[in-house]
Chains A and B, each alone.
Chain A
Amino acid sequence: MLDQILCIDDDPITLMLCKKVIIKCAFSNEIITSQNGEEALSYFNNIKTASNQNKVIQHPQLVFLDLNMPVMGGWEFLDYFSSSEFSEFHNIKVVVLSSTIDPEDLQNAKKYPMVIDFLSKPITQSMLEYLKNKME
């Protein structure tokens, strides 16, 4: 079981569904949510500031990322997140969870080494089992 997981999605029902399925599967202890890329980035910035003050704060081991979001979408988030500014988080794995069917999105995801998979919504128990196996 993972300690902490971050779900980034603008749709509250999707977030609710994620929480329920993750809990049901006992996939992670803690579930953090962000409404868009910018919110998620500020969450990571907070962790950075805290660790500079020598506080030890847990950070997520896995991120579920939606692509289409207001303010800051998934791609923009990945661009920032994979820059050197966030280098201390580069061991965090990202799973794109989207309803897109655009083949270009699939190609695009391959550009980011931290993206370990590209999965189609909805999140399901079997999907989480599959990820568990993959990450072990």
Chain B
Amino acid sequence: MFVAIVSHKILIQYISDENSQLYTFTKDILFVFVTGIIFKLVLSKNDSRNITIFEKLKNSNDEIKESNEKYDIVAKATSDTIWDWKIQDDSFSWNKGIESVFGYTQDQVGDNSTWWFDKIHPEDSIKMSIRLYSFIEQKTEKWQDQYRFRCSDNTYKYVLDRGFLLTDENGKVIRMIGAIQDITKQKEEEQRLKLLETVITQSKDSIIITEATSVDGKIPNIIYLNPAFSSMSGYDVDDLIGKTPNIFNSPNSDTNELQKLLLAIENREECLIETISLTKNKEEYWVRFSMIPIYNSENELSHWISIQREITEEKKQEKEKEQLIRELTQNNKDLKQFSYITSHNLRAPLSNLTGLLNLIEDIPIEDQELKEILDGFNKSTHLLNDTINDLVKVIIIKDNPSIQKEAVLIKEIFENVFSQLSFQIDLYKPIIKLNFDKVSVLNINKAYIESILLNLLTNSIKYKSANKKLKITITTNEVDDHAVLVFQDNGIGIDLERHRDKVFGLYQRFHNYPDSKGLGLYLVKSQVETMGGTINIESKVNIGTTFTLTFKNKQ
């Protein structure tokens, strides 16, 4: 237009008619040229704008595509159940999770919020709805809560529900979208861990957990201590975290034990020591102390668990016990020595008396009175000698708890015993029945069994019935790997109802006989028991007495 007007003006002013043809041509050329340039300009501008728009469209398209892809991936990967609540008309929709996670089929799922609330555990629903409505009131952006959600099979699942609000342009809440995550497994694990944790927190044993490795050869630093440890040591948690348990050491701690512990830590081995520790107030206490290396799933040492128990009282008692045992052992030794010395001192003059009396026997004595006196002297001396010899036997038995045993023929022992008692046997001529068919050999100490049978036989003769002929029956039997020897007489017996407890006691006499010392049965029982056997008595007054001796008859 501008070119056309300018050309026209030029035509009117300058150009003559003859030139008008050239002029028109030139003007057209110019006109076309200028228009071409302008077009070119406009087109290229448009073009570049179009390219930018296209690029933009393409980008946003890509983003949507990518986002969709991402959503697809996430939707597949997540087990979340998504819900969408249009609050105004209370319409509620669920994604497939409501079926796959909670088991509700499409036709079971309600389409309003009541259905949702209805599925929340009664104990959780009030708290949950209060929090939810206050959130909607305040219109904050995000909301999350944990509650139990009922499944189609009426079991409950712990869920974590997270949601956000959508508002319209006026800021009015119109929609809420949420995602429910099934956290039942985590919750159960959490409860299991809580339960396990109580073992540590409630334990009366002190427990500390330390780092895996130590610096400068000390016990590794503490990362946890339980309340029991605090109350035992007097240290608070803050006092000890990051410190080495070496601070518990006392100058009186057993350095050997501590070395043992440090070596075990170096070698990553379990270790148990007992040592003296110090409380925060520098009071000493005894502690039994274990260090157990803990390895993680990669089999690397991750830390140490140390379980400690205060044993101060135990140690004290142990010490007292040791002291008591030492004293008793010493006392016992002293008493034994005393009894040897006493018996020696008694026996020495007594042996002189016996020796001198032996000499007198060969000297004829005319004086009747002197003869009687010497007789009494003789009898008393021999009785005293017998008593002391029996006592000596008791002392020696008590001093030798274990003795030599050998296989002994019972018949031979009786032959020996009878020959020693030949005088009495000739005098009273008792009926003696022996039956060793069942068991003829005893695994026993020969001297002891001789002494035992000598005592029992002497007793039978001594305490025989005045108006019956003495009858003694001795038999052996085998019962369950044990040899049983039964010794039976028809003598005056012992009133067991009165004396059962005392029959085998020391210095117990049940009959007023001048030469009974109250030692025989005590000695018999001691000897039987020293050989690992047992002895029982049955007796009836004026009917007789039965002794049952039982010996283990195996080597």
Contact = CB atoms under 8 A, between A and B. Distances in A.
Interface string B326-369: 00000000000000100110011111101110110010000000
B395 interface: yes
Contacts of A99: 343-344, 347-348, 350-351
Interface size class of chain A, counting residues whose CB lies under 8 Å from the partner chain: 20 to 34
Given A17-B356, A21-B359, A101 B340 contact: yes
A122 B355 contact: yes
B404 interface: no
A124 to B, nearest CB: 6
B396 interface: yes
Contacts of B354: 122
A20 B359 CA distance: 8
A100 B340 contact: yes
B340 A21 contact: no
A113 interface: no
A124 B348 contact: no
Contacts of B344: 68, 98-102
A121 B347 contact: yes
Contact of B395 (A98, A101, A121, A125): A101
B399 interface: yes
Contact of A101 (B350, B362, B396): B396
B170 interface: no
Contacts of A76: none
Nearest to B350: A99
A97 B401 CA distance: 27
Interface string A7-23: 00001011001001100
B400 interface: yes
A120 B400 CA distance: 20
B392 interface: yes
Contacts of B400: 103
Contacts, number: 58
Contacts of B355: 14, 17, 21, 121-124
A134 interface: no
Nearest to A120: B351
Interface of B is mostly: helix
Interface string A117-136: 00011111100000000000
Contacts of A14: 348, 351-352, 355
Contacts of A98: 344
A95 B354 CA distance: 20
A21 B395 CA distance: 31
B392 A101 contact: yes
Contacts of A122: 351-352, 354-355, 358
Nearest to B355: A122
A111 interface: no
A121 B350 CA distance: 9
A8 B543 CA distance: 56
Max chain A C-beta neighbours (<10 A), residue from B351, B354, B396: B351
Interface string A29-59: 0000000000000000000000000000000
Contact of A124 (B340, B343, B358): B358
A125 to B, nearest CB: 8
Contacts of B351: 14, 99, 120-122
Interface string B366-407: 000000000000000000000000001001100110000000
A23 B344 CA distance: 27
Interface centre among B348, B358, B359, B396 (most CB of A within 10 A): B348
Given A21-B358, A121-B347, 14 more contacts: A11-B349, A11-B352, A14-B348, A14-B352, A21-B355, A24-B359, A68-B344, A99-B347, A100-B340, A101-B340, A101-B347, A102-B340, A103-B396, A121-B351
6 contacts: A24-B362, A101-B344, A121-B347, A122-B352, A123-B355, A124-B355
Interface of A: 11, 13-14, 17, 20-21, 24, 68, 98-103, 120-125
